[in-house]
Amino acid sequence: MNVLVINCGSSSLKFQLINSETEGVLAKGLCERIGIEGSQLVYQPAGGEKEKSLASMPTHTQAIKLVLDALVNEKTGVIKSLHEIGAVGHRLVHGGEKFANSTIITEEVIAAVESCNELAPLHNPANLIGVRACQELMPEVPMVGVFDTAFHQTMPEKAYLYGIPYEYYDKYKVRRYGFHGTSHSYVSKRVAQLEGKPYEELKTIVCHLGNGSSVCAVKNGKSIDTSMGLTPLEGLLMGTRSGDIDPGAIEYIAKKENLSLEEIMNILNKKSGVLGISGISSDFRDLEDAAFKAKDPAAIRALDAFHYRVAKYIGAYVAAMNGVDVICFTAGVGENGPETREEICSYLGYLGVTIDPEANKVRGKEQVISTPDSRVKVYCLPTNEELAIAKATVELVG
């Protein structure tokens, strides 16, 4: 079956058409600046050139219409008619406590996702706009929602509760949810396959390190803890997000700088993390260039803090699982940053982790990067959230 995978943001939309039998990507691309002047479609058929075309996209429906037209285009299309699309899989960010699994999208499901909008105001409404647009253009095609939060619904209460009055959990569901669940689930399952071991018997730590970053402890096939919380701001230092911070610091800065809560949240989300510490960039390539080539102290400081925080979470999750069998590095930096992996693993000698410097040169490929005698196996393992969404969609649609 061909599955159209849609990841819809407020002004952009990424798509992939995946054949679920071969797991091959038939075409992929994105629509940028939807509803804004200068919108463009980027489209790439498998084995073909990437095409960029300026096109008017006042609405998401218009954008998806352009994607569908491109997929059936006589010259560069990859299918003859839209009937060849068997299902659409939508990335949905926040399913709250309502969704512990992917689900076929019905009107009741849409209403339930809408009720989680307050928990992810930037993402959920945009995701649902994508769902509505697809429903309008492909009314007969089944749609499936795959949630970033679902995989972490197995976290025990002791891991997801904050140390605040319980009434806030009772009344408002203020708790830790975790994100990047589709990626953590995909990578932890894939590594079990590569290891030839039952998923239900492994203790795995997945480090999803990209612009947004999180670590997840997967014990016996279940997420038992992860570093993001109620929102994707908690946990690791990220490109522009602070990660863990004493709430007392927020009050202190607000008073000193005369800032509103909204302004402070904007700083913690958009001007902090490695960008905030370095003052150089949120992009790890820029920072690694500045740190390793130019020996820039601000870039070194930011990367040191980033590596240290990841290592600290790994240590916490080894404790939470009473051991670890495999550690996986994934996402933009995890897959492509040998220096990042090496620096983080340099903290893990106490676990008997030893890295093979030759193997660790790998970028963007599945590979064991630890030495044969390392007590814990370490992998570079590219994530594939789109394939995971396509597989979950086929499982439900049948």
The residues that are catalytic are 148
Question: What is the maximal distance between C-alpha atoms in the chain?
Answer: 62
Measure Cα distances from 87 to 5, 147, 233 in Å: 9, 17, 32
Identify residue 281 by its one-letter amino acid code. S
> Binding to ligand AMP by residue 285, rule CB under 6 A?
yes
The residue written with tokens 């676990």 in the block is: 351
Query: CA-to-CA distance for 91 and 12, rounded, in angstroms?
Result: 13
Stretch that binds ligand AMP, among 18-26, 44-52, 161-169, 279-287 (CB under 6 A): 279-287
Min dist CB 269 to ligand AMP, Å, is 15
The residues with which 384 forms a beta bridge, in sequence order, are none
**Beta carbon of residue 285, minimum distance to ligand AMP (angstroms, whole number):** 4
What is the distance between the alpha carbons of residues 162 and 184, in angstroms, rounded to a whole number? 22
Q: Which is nearer to ligand AMP, 115 or 346 (CB)?
A: 346
Of 79-87, 90-98, 278-286, 370-378, which segment contacts ligand AMP by CB under 6 A?
278-286
- Smallest distance, ligand AMP to C-beta of residue 277, A: 14
Minimum CB separation of residue 363 from ligand AMP in Å reads 6
Assess 226 for contact with ligand AMP (CB under 6 A): no
d(CA 349, CA 141): 52
Pick the binder of ligand AMP from 29, 45, 332, 382 (CB under 6 A): 332
Q: Which residue's CB is nearer to ligand AMP, number 41 or number 362? A: 362
Only segment of 196-204, 280-288, 303-311, 312-320 that touches ligand AMP (CB under 6 A) = 280-288
Contacts to ligand AMP from residues 377-396, by CB under 6 A: none
Q: List, in sequence order, every residue forming a beta bridge with 88; answer none if it has no partner.
A: 4, 143
Give the residue with the Cβ less far from ligand AMP, 291 or 348.
Answer: 291
Q: How many CA atoms does the CB half-sphere of 264 hold within 13 Å?
A: 16
Asked if 101 and 150 touch (Cβ cutoff 8 Å), the reply is yes
How many Cα atoms are found within 13 Å in the side-chain-facing hemisphere of 299?
18
The DSSP 8-state label assigned to residue 283 in this structure reads: -
Kindly state whether residue 283 participates in binding ligand AMP, applying the rule CB under 6 A.
Answer: yes
* Count of alpha carbons within 13 angstroms of residue 250, beta-carbon side: 17
Torsion sign (Cα): 67, 13, 275, 283: negative
Q: Binding of ligand AMP at residue 280 (CB under 6 A)?
A: no
Among 144, 146, 318, 331, binds ligand AMP (CB under 6 A): 331
Considering only 17-25, 132-140, 158-166, 282-290, which stretch makes contact with ligand AMP by CB under 6 A?
282-290
- Which residue's CB is nearer to ligand AMP, number 99 or number 284? 284
Q: Read off the tokens for 358.
A: 């030759």
CA dihedral 369, 374, 375, 379 (to 10 degrees): 0
What's the min distance (Å) between Cβ of 284 and ligand AMP? 4
Nearer to ligand AMP, 109 or 205 (CB): 205
Taking CB under 6 A as the criterion, which residues in 7-26 touch ligand AMP?
A: none
Which of 62, 154, 211, 367 touches ligand AMP (CB under 6 A)? 211
CA distance 19 to 344: 37
Q: For the chain, state the CA radius of gyration.
A: 21
Residue length, the chain? 398
Residue nearest to ligand AMP (CB): 332
Q: Which of 99, 284, 313, 379 binds ligand AMP (CB under 6 A)?
A: 284
* DSSP strand pairing (85-92 vs 143-147): parallel
Size of the site for ligand AMP (CB under 6 A): 13
* CB contact at 8 A, 198 and 219: no
Among 130, 145, 235, 239, binds ligand AMP (CB under 6 A): 239
Between residues 103 and 330, which has the closer beta carbon with respect to ligand AMP?
A: 330
- The footprint of ligand AMP (CB under 6 A) covers 210-211, 239, 283-285, 288, 331-333, 336-337, 363
